[in-house]
Structure 1
Amino acid sequence: MLLKPPFQKPQITIKVLFLQIISPVDAASFNSALQEYWGMQNIYLTKTARQALWLILSSIKPEPGSEVIVSSFTPVVVPLAAMKAGCQPVFCDVIQDGFVMSPEDAEKKVTKKTIAIVMPYSFGCFSDIEKFTALARKHNLILIEDCAQTLKGKYKDKYIGFNADFGIWSFGISKNIGSLNGGAFWYHDRHKKGVEKAMAKFLLNNKPKHNIFDHFRASGVPFINTRFGYWLLRPIIDYYQRGRETSRSIGYDTAEFDSALTNFEAALCHRQLNRYDHVYQRRKMNYQIYENELKNLVKFPSQPFEFEPDYLYAPILVEQQVRARLLNQFQNTLVSDINFAYINELDVLKGISFNTPNRLRVQDEYLLLTLHHSDKLTRKIARQLKLAIIKFSK
């Protein structure tokens, strides 16, 4: 592969942009579409998932010093959202040889100051909702399902995200429906009063900010999706991502919290939702291709039979030495390691305990495989990785 395919592939296409021009839709239409898709009400749209988490925590009016248990293997925006709401993040370890929070370690982290648990389905993997629900009830805690990396996953024939007090989703450019911006949250009826009051205050003070740059960015996505476009623009993309990570190391970007979702952003999310079942089937098929080719060489996450996953990527665990060589040869093309490791290096989080040995091991052994290509190209990638893993294991 002379020009290697990009690891990320936002699903915005020329057709999606054209449809928005000839038949525009707005945020209210997208909200209605989500409610119909999941068969649920009590859904609010937000600019991002981190904004959704901040609004949820703000709606329960935390006391100063309140603690929120979050995964130690998570994007930095999760603890930053908790801090913006006036809470202290407490980091929980992951399960052994897995990517999701350990309910046993979470219980050890509960104190008199704990008010909530943010339970993620990292990379679309199963998180033990029944154990976390029991834990939340035992200690009278708010349980928030973080579904930022899943959309269509089900447990016991019920969509995940609707099993606790709240559920949050992301529609960002690298997420399941791959739009520009967008998030949403669902709330249980028992939280209706607090949520509606918080949202009314937010929408009164924070109007949608229309940014012409978003239109140009959306128009450029179909070109960037190609191998040539990604190869040509990769230095610019990498520079942009480094800049965003640097800004987050200083603190949270208020623009990502303090503006409402625009109709243009919501419309792109709506178009993506309309075609998501096709995307879901392709990713499901490609995951099976990787499993068939690599199952004897790497570890895939184990899932209960009652769980229907909606994988954003195919996450695997591989020996540390092999992983390093794979990243050196295929980083951001055939494999990636979306970096959660630097979360404990941020200035704003210094002084917070990271007693999470499972996480330390997992972050040195995990890789992500892309699922967005055709089945033909995915088979080629799987075979190329298989040969490389065999070679690097010697």
Structure 2
Amino acid sequence: MEGPITTPVYEPEIGEREKEYVNRCLDTGWVSARGEFVDRFEQEFAAYVGCEHGVSVSNGTTALHLALLALGIGPGDEVIVPTLTYVASANAVAYTGATPVFVDSLPGTWAMDPDDVRRVITTRTRAIMPVHLYGCPCDMTALMGIAQQHGLLVVEDCAEAIGTKVNDRHVGTFGDLAIFSFYGNKTITTGEGGMVVTNSPNLAERCRHLKGQGLAHAREYWHDVVGYNYRMTNICAAIGCAQLERIEETLARKAAVAAEYRRLLADRYEFQAEPAGAVHSHWMVSLLVDRAGDRNALRANLRAAGVETRPLFYPVHTMPMYVRSYRRTPVADDLGSRGVNLPSFPGLSQTEIAKIGRVLRRETPMRAAA
């Protein structure tokens, strides 16, 4: 019989400031989608990323849907998406009636392959959705060049990439719109929550209009478009404000966790690479086993030691609802079969990392020198 999990893959850090801000919401009665913290969180998060506008929403998936709707994506359109991503990236495209078109990953960074993007562009292609997987940035110079050449829109999926940068520029500032997630296992959490960021006042206003049931500005209880209830609560925003106050400390601690894993295990495992000139925010520390058949045994042995792990995402185009879109993506298929996410939360102690390291070193011999 398996024992309890003593080291989870992720756990949120909730401190006294979060409790103080939430209690302020409760004491004042501002517990829904209005209150001091909603506007504050939008403004402070947008400023942290480096965008003019932030629009808070109920979760990262609704943020993606809202961003695509704001750009007018709909039936008959195609949106290029990496197949190695969380399923929400593709689902948000499907919600609009558009078609997700899946592309392969790059070895090393595991990010969207720009050459494969070029191969799948058609007359129906409207947008590209780069996904900064596990906190590692895509090649935004190449992808923005492709978008400009073909007149395509760009929606950056930064759900896992708070703190990720390319040449000192935060991801989410390259495309037309970008989204972030604040789910309980993200670098900043609001419990559930998300944010759309943009430098376009018109797109920001479009997002605000749609997220609030399409309520018209000049006429009370008059709705002039089919909208959605995608609003963030003041309580969630209060938690987000508190989390954002210590974001640099959180990122530094996560970077230290990633560095310690690499120090202990780089001679035995391949980790997700960090591109030159980039900052990997290490939302997840992920490695590859040598053979796909080794992964289950390795994870079972870690589980026996009380350590929770997760496999890398399955390539989305292999799932039943998208299998009609099947095309060969050999790199993503290989990564998805060999990858493991390790415990990656900022409070992970060196003692816990050492325990994980002992199990992993026992499982795999040293790699031959390059």
Instruction: Please tell me the root mean square deviation across aligned C-alpha atoms, in Å.
Output: 2.6
Equivalent positions of 1:259-274 (< 5 A) are 259-274=230-245
Could you list the runs of 4 or more consecutive aligned residues of structure 1 that deviate by over 3 angstroms after TM superposition?
22-25, 331-335, 342-348
1:87 match: 98
CA contact (8 A) 2:302 2:308 kept: yes
> SS where residue 333 of structure 2 aligns?
helix
Alignment partner of 2:267 out of 259, 275, 296? 296
Aligned residue pairs total 341
Relative to the length of structure 2, the TM-score reads 0.84
The change in CA–CA distance for 1:97 and 1:159 in structure 2 (over 3 A counts) is: closer
Alignment partner of 2:335 out of 362, 366, 377? 362
Equivalent positions of 1:25-36 (< 5 A) are 26-36=37-47
CA contact (8 A) 2:109 2:274 kept: no
2:298 match: 326
CA contact (8 A) 1:285 1:375 kept: no
CA offset digits 1:183-217 (Å, max 9, x no partner): 1112233xx434423431431448xxxxxxxxxxx
Alignment partner of 1:108 out of 115, 119, 139? 119
2:221 match: none
The change in CA–CA distance for 1:262 and 1:12 in structure 2 (over 3 A counts) is: same
Identity %: 23
Distance in 2 between residues matched to 1:179 and 1:389, nearest whole Å = 38
CA offset digits 1:222-253 (Å, max 9, x no partner): xxxxxxxxxxxxxxxxxxxxxxxxxxxxxxxx
Give how far 1:294 is off.
0.7
The change in CA–CA distance for 1:355 and 1:188 in structure 2 (over 3 A counts) is: farther
2:18 match: 16
Alignment partner of 2:202 out of 193, 206, 212? 193
Distance in 2 between residues matched to 1:363 and 1:346, nearest whole Å = 13
Give how far 1:317 is off.
1.3
Distance in 2 between residues matched to 1:267 and 1:44, nearest whole Å = 15
The change in CA–CA distance for 1:31 and 1:202 in structure 2 (over 3 A counts) is: closer
CA contact (8 A) 1:12 1:178 kept: no
1:228 match: none
Distance in 2 between residues matched to 1:77 and 1:338, nearest whole Å = 17
Distance in 2 between residues matched to 1:286 and 1:98, nearest whole Å = 19
The change in CA–CA distance for 1:301 and 1:201 in structure 2 (over 3 A counts) is: closer
Distance in 1 between residues matched to 2:142 and 2:156, nearest whole Å = 13
- With 88-97 and 194-203 compared, the bigger mean Cα shift is at 194-203
1:69 match: 80
The change in CA–CA distance for 1:20 and 1:194 in structure 2 (over 3 A counts) is: closer
The change in CA–CA distance for 1:194 and 1:159 in structure 2 (over 3 A counts) is: closer
Distance in 1 between residues matched to 2:301 and 2:214, nearest whole Å = 48
Distance in 2 between residues matched to 1:342 and 1:306, nearest whole Å = 28
CA contact (8 A) 1:172 1:178 kept: yes
Give how far 1:258 is off.
3.8
> SS where residue 14 of structure 2 aligns?
coil
> SS where residue 259 of structure 1 aligns?
coil
Equivalent positions of 1:311-322 (< 5 A) are 311-319=282-290, 320-322=292-294
Give how far 1:261 is off.
0.9
Larger helix percent:
1
Amino acid at match of 1:175: K
Amino acid at match of 2:110: F
Give how far 1:175 is off.
1.2
Distance in 1 between residues matched to 2:118 and 2:315, nearest whole Å = 25
1:283 match: 254
CA offset digits 1:9-67 (Å, max 9, x no partner): 12234662244215775211111221332343122111112212111211222353100
> SS where residue 305 of structure 1 aligns?
coil
Alignment partner of 1:310 out of 270, 281, 290? 281
CA contact (8 A) 1:313 1:368 kept: yes
Equivalent positions of 1:217-228 (< 5 A) are none
CA contact (8 A) 1:11 1:177 kept: no
Alignment partner of 2:139 out of 128, 132, 146? 128
CA offset digits 1:277-303 (Å, max 9, x no partner): 222111111111111111111112222
Distance in 2 between residues matched to 1:304 and 1:76, nearest whole Å = 25
Amino acid at match of 1:336: T
Alignment partner of 1:337 out of 287, 302, 310? 310
- With 272-281 and 290-299 compared, the bigger mean Cα shift is at 272-281
The change in CA–CA distance for 1:43 and 1:107 in structure 2 (over 3 A counts) is: same
Give how far 1:2 is off.
7.4
2:356 match: 381
Amino acid at match of 2:339: Y
The change in CA–CA distance for 1:390 and 1:260 in structure 2 (over 3 A counts) is: same
Distance in 1 between residues matched to 2:293 and 2:267, nearest whole Å = 17
Give how far 1:122 is off.
0.4
Amino acid at match of 1:157: D
CA contact (8 A) 2:51 2:198 kept: no
